[in-house]
Chain A
Amino acid sequence: MAQADASMMGAGQGPARAEKLVTSDGTPLKRALERAERQRKLVALGLVTPLLVFLLTVFVWPIAQMMWLSVKNDQIVSAIPRTLDELRTWDGRDLPGENVFAALHADFMEDLERPRREQTTGPMGIRLNYELSAARSAVSRTSRAVAGFEAPYKEAFTDAHRLWGDPALWRIIKREGRPLTLSYYVAALDREYADDGSIVQRDERRRIYVPLFGRTLYLSVVITTMTFLLGFPIAYYMSILPMRQANLLMICVLLPFWTSLLVRTSAWIVLLQQQGVINSGLVGLGLIDDGNRISMIYNQTGTIIAMTHILLPFMVLPLYSVMRTIPPSYMRAAKSLGATPSTAFRRVYFPQTLPGIGAGGVLVFIISIGYYITPALVGGQSGRMISNEIARHIQQSLNWGLAAALGTLLLAGVLILYWLYNRLVGTDSLKFG
């Protein structure tokens, strides 16, 4: 230790003790080097900046926005601040007192005076309806009639809509009357708040997302396995062929890759549907009878077949590029040392292809876990994946908070799986090409 210190100090002091090194124009070498280095860095930064800005604006920023949407919860806070103030002392059991209803009346009256665009009761009703069906009409109907209400307000409100007399609605208002919420995540995990505020599992008939996450994982694993089983022999065969034939085969692999996704998916519909080519062929050959055509599409089978086909090149390419670099002499050496062909393959060849398998597997798995268009077209009900549900909430039910929570969970799932992979196999062993 001491020796090492001394030698390091010696190394540090060496040049200082010697005469300063300078370039031909007299600047110290160190500074000249620094300047050149800085220039190089600036050039590199300049070259990378467009990409960096692009990634930040179209990738990082939207993802951050999405994550923000999944916890953002300002609809109730901005609509009824007075009511929330009064609710602070409410015990959460029986109906709140007259003071709360009077505050609600005041809040609604104030909202009526705002211009239509800035009215807050509409969004508040929509927000509450996510938690309790019919809460939207409780808010919208009373908020418009509120000018005619007279004290006691408790009666006026409960007469206007039955839900105002339901402590459950008030518990939700109190719980969601905060600027941030976890309730979208609670819903995304098929859970809900019980009356006492604890989080419980939903009624079995309403559990939908957790099984869907499970199915998405399952389908992705199946698809990854299928691409591996189909891709490995092709890649191996290509790697032992002479370059010219290998290139020809490569074009065959890539050809579907260059065809539009929609064309390929539609082609599968033509082939696989009940009145399609395969079914009609089997009926024509007398292998199945007309009443028992096989359903191969609009279910999980359809999703698996179409997606395996579409993602196959992502498995073949990394495998091929790894196999190409494995010298054939290794196998020959193994055999000459007495290994049977299968042992030589298992113990010598296969382990060397692992980086390719890892890369192909990760690529196919991560692409398929978020796949959207193919399951939507050929998956029917049983072949749907979580991304289809996210799209539904973005486009149809318009519950963007829930869509964002589901998306964030999916993202977190992918990151965890990637982290696990990294721990178990190590990403530096990946070889993409």
Chain B
Amino acid sequence: MKSTLKLIGASTAASVIAMSAAAQDPVSLTIVSWGGAYTASQVRAYHEPWMEMNPHVTIINDDGSANALASLRAQSQAGNVTWDLVDMLPSDAQLACDEGIILQIDHDEMLAPAPDGTPASEDFLPGSLGECFIPQIVYSTVLTFRPDAFADDNQPSSIADLFDVENFPGRRALQDRPGTNLEWALYADGVDPDDIYDVLSTPEGVDRAFDKLDTIKDHIVFWTEGAQAPQLLADGEVAFATGYNGRMFDAIEVEGMNAEIIWDGQVVEWDGWVVPADGPNVEVVLDYLYFATDTQRLADQAKFISYGPARASSAPLVSTHADLGIDMNPHMPTAPENYFAPIILDNDFWVDYGDELRERFANWMLQ
């Protein structure tokens, strides 16, 4: 899709006051993200407060994250890097880092410590920081179902139920890629969440996962774009759908869709920032990052979308939804009552085995 450019200007009054105070040259930052509700949450939680403090800066939003790695590569090869900051998945960030097209991050140097002085490298959730990657949120892929598709005394409650077409008939909407699906197939087949990637890195383990998927193959509808999953559920085309927890939250709480989330086996992943090397305004961007990834800002983002902040110190600050006024804590993937059987997505595994498994999965879908 063509990226939509949206210009956000700081309020004139604020800029006049600040201009006279600081009188800096105007700068415009191009920040690339996923668009939709997600970009909107970043605009309200990060961009707007920061632009108020730095009126000489204008932020331009570009919805290019879906193909960000390819674009970054092309920009870098052409020697004309136009992006300042990119929102990316950690596996892509790792590849970009290996290629040397994004900045290495010294987390304690470049990021704010927690309010109690804990350095950033200890405050961010364990395993979330990457060599070139600054996490913002924890999101998860969850299973969602329509309660009205099943009898009241026979409601699904686990990933195993997704693979049980006898007791829970109906079509299932799964994403058209191997990630999450293979993990769930093994989990439903009795593999412990901690062992899933060990099993999946053996050829027998891959066969086992595909065999399990075969059992529901005739009942699967595949979706591609994040928005399709809640749509399929809302239209009644499917009884189960997998999807991103933020979109499902939006569909259920904001749009009033009749559906419920099953938190069992939620596949948890990070999402965050990378800084293109040779970007036009690296210094300004680092200044922005210091602000936008501090404890309060990460907690603020959860007011607008149900993704969990990546800092431990942000969790107690998560409050209510900015428009609905409901408490956001129970909707976070990391809330204790939801986090009972998480599968932590292993990015190293997917960087290593992704190509091979994607090919096999594509073939499996066709057969």
Which A residues fall within an 8 A CB radius of B?
Answer: 116-119, 121-123, 125-126, 129-130, 133-137, 140, 205-208, 274-275, 380-382, 394-399
Max chain A Cβ within 10 angstroms of own Cβ: one of B98, B99, B237, B348: B98
Q: A374 CB to closest chain B CB, in angstroms? A: 15
Cα distance, A208 to B97, chains bound together (Å): 30
Decide yes or no whether B201 CB sits under 8 A from chain A: yes
Cα distance, A297 to B159, chains bound together (Å): 30
Cα distance, A398 to B355, chains bound together (Å): 10
A398 touches B363 (CB 8 A): no
What would 21 A/B residue contacts be, using CB atoms closer than 8 Å?
A117-B277, A119-B100, A122-B98, A122-B100, A125-B98, A126-B99, A133-B356, A134-B353, A136-B351, A137-B351, A137-B352, A140-B98, A205-B360, A205-B363, A208-B363, A380-B222, A394-B70, A397-B354, A397-B355, A398-B70, A398-B73
Nearest A residue to B207, CB-CB: A205
Nearest B residue to A121, CB-CB: B98
Nearest B residue to A215, CB-CB: B366
Decide yes or no whether B340 CB sits under 8 A from chain A: no
Q: A294 CB to closest chain B CB, in angstroms? A: 15
Contacts of A129 in B (CB 8 A): 351-352, 355
Q: A122-B97, A206-B356, A397-B354 are in contact. List 11 more A-B contacts (CB 8 A).
A: A121-B98, A125-B98, A126-B98, A129-B352, A133-B355, A133-B356, A134-B353, A137-B348, A206-B359, A397-B358, A398-B70
Contacts of B99 in A (CB 8 A): 122-123, 126
Q: B174 CB to closest chain A CB, in angstroms? A: 12
Contacts of A395 in B (CB 8 A): 67, 70
Cα distance, A122 to B102, chains bound together (Å): 12
Per-position contact with A for B210-235: 1 when CB-CB < 8 Å, else 0?
00000000000010000000000001
Q: B137 CB to closest chain A CB, in angstroms? A: 22
Task: Knowing A207-B363, A275-B235 are in contact, say whether A399-B355 is a contact too (CB < 8 A).
Answer: yes
B98 touches A133 (CB 8 A): no
B98 touches A136 (CB 8 A): yes
Decide yes or no whether B252 CB sits under 8 A from chain A: no
Contacting residue for A205 out of B237, B355, B364, CB 8 A? B364
Interface of A is mostly: helix
Task: Knowing A123-B98, A136-B98, A396-B67 are in contact, say whether A208-B362 is a contact too (CB < 8 A).
Answer: yes
A130 touches B348 (CB 8 A): no
Contacts of A123 in B (CB 8 A): 98-99
Contacts of A118 in B (CB 8 A): 100
Interface of B is mostly: helix
Decide yes or no whether B104 CB sits under 8 A from chain A: yes
Contacts of A381 in B (CB 8 A): 176, 222, 362, 365-366
Contacts of B354 in A (CB 8 A): 397
Within B79-120, which residues are at the interface with A (CB < 8 Å)? 95, 97-100, 104
Decide yes or no whether B69 CB sits under 8 A from chain A: yes
Nearest A residue to B357, CB-CB: A133
Q: Which 9 A-B pairs have the closest CB atoms?
A: A122-B98, A134-B352, A117-B100, A133-B353, A133-B356, A395-B67, A395-B70, A381-B365, A116-B100
Count of chain B residues with a beta carbon within 8 Å of a chain A beta carbon: 31
Cα distance, A394 to B348, chains bound together (Å): 21
Contacts of A133 in B (CB 8 A): 352-353, 355-356
Cα distance, A118 to B366, chains bound together (Å): 41
Cα distance, A134 to B351, chains bound together (Å): 8
Q: A381 CB to closest chain B CB, in angstroms? A: 5
Cα distance, A221 to B82, chains bound together (Å): 43
Contacts of A399 in B (CB 8 A): 355
Within B308-367, which residues are at the interface with A (CB < 8 Å)? 348, 351-356, 358-360, 362-366
Contacts of B365 in A (CB 8 A): 381
Cα distance, A50 to B69, chains bound together (Å): 35
Q: B87 CB to closest chain A CB, in angstroms? A: 17
Nearest A residue to B358, CB-CB: A397
Nearest B residue to A140, CB-CB: B98
Contacts of B363 in A (CB 8 A): 205-208
Q: B275 CB to closest chain A CB, in angstroms? A: 13
Cα distance, A205 to B98, chains bound together (Å): 30
Contacts of A380 in B (CB 8 A): 222
A126 touches B67 (CB 8 A): no
Cα distance, A123 to B101, chains bound together (Å): 11
Contacts of A117 in B (CB 8 A): 100, 277
Q: A186 CB to closest chain B CB, in angstroms? A: 14
Contacts of A382 in B (CB 8 A): 366
Q: A191 CB to closest chain B CB, in angstroms? A: 14
B222 touches A136 (CB 8 A): no
B358 touches A126 (CB 8 A): no
Contacts of B237 in A (CB 8 A): 274-275
Q: A66 CB to closest chain B CB, in angstroms? A: 14
Task: Knowing A123-B98, A136-B352 are in contact, say whether A206-B366 is a contact too (CB < 8 A).
Answer: no
Q: B170 CB to closest chain A CB, in angstroms? A: 12
Within B235-249, which residues are at the interface with A (CB < 8 Å)? 235, 237
Cα distance, A396 to B69, chains bound together (Å): 8
Q: B74 CB to closest chain A CB, in angstroms? A: 10
Q: B178 CB to closest chain A CB, in angstroms? A: 12
Cα distance, A395 to B67, chains bound together (Å): 6
Contacts of A397 in B (CB 8 A): 354-355, 358
Task: Knowing A117-B277, A134-B353, A398-B70 are in contact, say whether A206-B360 is a contact too (CB < 8 A).
Answer: yes
Contacts of B353 in A (CB 8 A): 133-134
Contacts of B364 in A (CB 8 A): 205
Q: A402 CB to closest chain B CB, in angstroms? A: 9
Cα distance, A207 to B363, chains bound together (Å): 8
Nearest A residue to B70, CB-CB: A395
Contacts of B359 in A (CB 8 A): 206, 208
Contacts of B95 in A (CB 8 A): 126, 398
Cα distance, A123 to B277, chains bound together (Å): 16
Contacts of B355 in A (CB 8 A): 129-130, 133, 397, 399
Contacts of A205 in B (CB 8 A): 360, 363-364
Q: B348 CB to closest chain A CB, in angstroms? A: 6
Nearest A residue to B100, CB-CB: A117
Cα distance, A397 to B100, chains bound together (Å): 18
Nearest B residue to A124, CB-CB: B98
Contacts of A208 in B (CB 8 A): 359, 362-363
Nearest A residue to B352, CB-CB: A134
Cα distance, A140 to B93, chains bound together (Å): 14
Cα distance, A115 to B292, chains bound together (Å): 28
Cα distance, A8 to B137, chains bound together (Å): 89
Cα distance, A125 to B351, chains bound together (Å): 11
Nearest B residue to A139, CB-CB: B98
Cα distance, A254 to B362, chains bound together (Å): 38
Q: A260 CB to closest chain B CB, in angstroms? A: 13
Contacts of B352 in A (CB 8 A): 129, 133-137
Cα distance, A391 to B121, chains bound together (Å): 38
Max chain A Cβ within 10 angstroms of own Cβ: one of B67, B73, B100, B365: B100
Contacting residue for B201 out of A119, A125, A134, A274, CB 8 A? A134
Contacts of A119 in B (CB 8 A): 100
